[in-house]
Amino acid sequence: MNGDWTEFTFKVARKDLDTVSSIAEMCVSGGIYIEDYSDFEEVVSGFAPDELVSTELLELAKDRDNAVVHVYISPEDDPMEAVRYMTSRLNAAGVKYESGKNTVREEDWANNWKQYFKPLPVGDKLIVVPTWDDNFPEEFSGRTRIVMDPGMAFGSGQHETTRLCLEMIEKHLKKGDRVLDVGTGSGILAIGALLLGAKDAVGIDIDPLAVKVSSENAERSGLGDRFKAECCDLAGDIDGKFGIIVANIVADIVLKLIPDTGRLLAPGGKLVLSGIITERRADVESGLRASGYTVTDSRELKGWCVLVAENE
């Protein structure tokens, strides 16, 4: 069997993007990639000067009214079965779309996205830089670098929820805190915490690849001796006390995690929770109250929110 993946693209109106991406996530195991440039100008003006954005990306960003969902089917799966299921769900939902199909070599699929991962300042103290491109304006030279190669694990710093979590960690971390990063992905949040003064950090994930990638990224930043990655589900197999527990997952998983955090949070410690769309904020706040927590800080960004909570 060759190593070629099948890529299907679905161009849809921006208003239908949430529906299409939700259907895509249910239909495929190989992953999805979303092109959505509706807030491009606001994003660029908010955290990156023009010189950090490639000309190719500027050209792609001209279309603000539509989005493109890329769906990747692995060589082991039947691409036509997956796309038939997806198109039937799209048709049932009444979504209009333009579709396309490409064959992608595995090494290209794993690496082409790198052209869009540029150095990114986060908060007041950090800048996320990829291993292959650490050129950025002199004005950011005083920031602490998080050197990342996320590979196929989540967490390059580009997503709103990652930035929100890093900003709250910078704001609430006390020097010497121990940090637990649930759903660590690339390890970016744990590594950021360590660079900001945490004593040590544990990152857990259900994906063995994320455990491998996060450990490698910690080594790149010279933090391998202070970071431990484990493959486990939520925090059931973790012991100890942590000054900060951060979870950037999705609302339903965050709700499952909350009841187990009480035994792990040190006195005076804080939960930093994100991956939560604003429509689910009230659900998560209710779950926090039910477990004896009070929300003490929060921020919303482009439809996502982060909540900081403490024991009552």
Which pLDDT score is estimated for 2? 55
Which pLDDT score is estimated for 44? 47
Is the pLDDT assigned to residue 143 strictly greater than 50?
A: yes
Residue 50 pLDDT grade (very low, low, confident, very high; cuts 50, 70, 90):
very low
CA distances from 25 to 20, 86, 231 (A): 9, 10, 22
Residue 247 pLDDT grade (very low, low, confident, very high; cuts 50, 70, 90):
very high
Most confident stretch, 23-32, 57-66, 125-134? 125-134
Residue environment code for 37-73, b if the CB has 16+ CB neighbours within 10 A, otherwise e: bbebeebbeeebeeebbeeebeeebebeebbbbbbbb
Opening angle at CA 116, ends 114 and 119, nearest 5: 90
Average pLDDT estimate for 182-208: 92
Q: How far apart are CA 198 and CA 187, in angstroms?
A: 14
Is the pLDDT assigned to residue 144 strictly greater than 90?
A: no
The full length of the chain comes to: 312
Tokens of 180: 């637990």
Q: How far apart are CA 269 and CA 59, in angstroms?
A: 46
Is the pLDDT assigned to residue 1 strictly greater than 60?
A: no
- Is CATH 3.40.50.1440 correct for 154-311? no
Which pLDDT score is estimated for 283? 95
Is the pLDDT assigned to residue 162 strictly greater than 50?
A: yes
Q: What are the residues whose beta carbons fall under 8 Å from the beta carbon of 307, sequence distance 6 or more?
A: 271, 272, 273, 274, 276, 281, 284, 285, 288, 295, 297, 298
- DSSP, res 39: T
Q: How far apart are CA 51 and CA 45, in angstroms?
A: 11
Taking each helix axis as running N to C, give the angle between helix 79-92 and helix 17-27, from 0 to 180 degrees, rounded to the nearest 10.
150
Helix (H, G, I), strand (E, B) or coil at 164: helix
**Residue for token digits 């945490």?**
198
Which pLDDT score is estimated for 108? 56
Between 300 and 26, the more confident residue is: 300
Sheet with 227-231: list strands edge to edge.
227-231, 200-205, 178-182, 242-248, 265-277, 304-311, 293-301
60-95 pLDDT, tens digit per residue, is 556 678 889 888 887 777 778 778 878 888 888 889
114-127 pLDDT, tens digit per residue, is 555 667 778 888 88
CA distances from 157 to 5, 7, 235 (A): 26, 25, 23
CATH of domain 4-111: 3.30.70.120
Residue 57 amino acid letter: L
Q: How far apart are CA 223 and CA 219, in angstroms?
A: 5
Is the pLDDT assigned to residue 199 strictly greater than 80?
A: yes
Between 34 and 308, the more confident residue is: 308
Nearest to 18 by CA among 64, 69, 84: 69
Helix (H, G, I), strand (E, B) or coil at 293: strand
To 10 degrees, the CA torsion angle through 165, 169, 171, 175? 180
Q: Model-level pTM?
A: 0.66
Q: Residue 214 in contact with residue 182, Cβ under 8 Å?
A: no
Kindly list the domain boundaries of the chain, sorted by start residue.
Answer: 4-111, 154-311
